[in-house]
Amino acid sequence: MSLTRRDFARESARTGAGIALAGSVGVFASAPHALAAEDIVTPDGEAAGPGYGPLLPDPDGLLALPAGFSYRVLTRAGETRLESGEPTPSRHDGTAAFDGGRGTVLLVNNHELGGPRSRWEHPVPLAGGLVYDPAAAGGCTVVEVRADGHVTEWVGIAGTATNCAGGSTPWGTWLTCEETEDKAGQNGMTKDHGYVFEVDPLDERANLDPKPVKALGRYAHEAVVVDPGRGHLYLTEDASGPNGLFYRWTPPEGFRHGRGRLAALPDDAGTLQAPRCFDSAGRFVDDLSRATRIGTVYGVDWVGVPDRDARTVPVRRQFGAGEITRARKLEGMWWGDGGAYLVSSFARAESPGNAHDGAVWFYDPKRRTLTLKVLIGVNPDPEAEGGYDGPDNITVSPYGGLVVAEDGEGLSHLFGATDSGRTYPIARNELNDSEFAGVTFSPDGRTLYACIQNPGILLAITGPWKRQKRKG
pLDDT along the chain (472 residues), means of 10: 42 38 34 34 49 95 98 98 98 98 97 97 98 98 97 98 97 98 97 98 97 98 98 97 97 97 97 98 97 95 98 97 96 93 94 94 97 90 88 91 90 84 88 97 97 98 71 32
pLDDT of residue 48: 55
For residues 41 and 470, what is the distance between their CA atoms, to the nearest angstrom?
6
For residues 319 and 303, what is the distance between their CA atoms, to the nearest angstrom?
10
pLDDT of residue 400: 84
The DSSP bridge partners found for residue 274 are 303
Closest CA to 132 of 179, 78, 198, 200: 198
Measured in residues, the chain has a length of: 472
Burial group, residue 366, by CB count within 10 angstroms (0-12, 13-18, 19+):
exposed
Closest CA to 451 of 162, 86, 90, 52: 90
pLDDT of residue 217: 98
Phi, psi of 19 (to 5 degrees): -130, 135
Q: What is the pTM for the complete model shown?
A: 0.90
| Inter-residue contact 102 to 114 (CB < 8 Å) | no
Closest CA to 100 of 202, 213, 211, 29: 202
- Sequence-ordered list of residues with C-beta below 8 angstroms from that of 169, at least 6 positions apart, any chain: 175, 198, 226, 257
pLDDT of residue 29: 35
Q: Cα dihedral sign for 155, 156, 157, 163?
A: negative
Closest CA to 164 of 346, 355, 403, 345: 345
Q: How many CB atoms lie within 10 A of CB 110?
A: 35
For residues 98 and 443, what is the distance between their CA atoms, to the nearest angstrom?
6
Closest CA to 333 of 394, 420, 384: 394
SS3 label, residue 238? coil
Give the full edge-to-edge strand order of the sheet including 163-168.
163-168, 174-178, 196-199
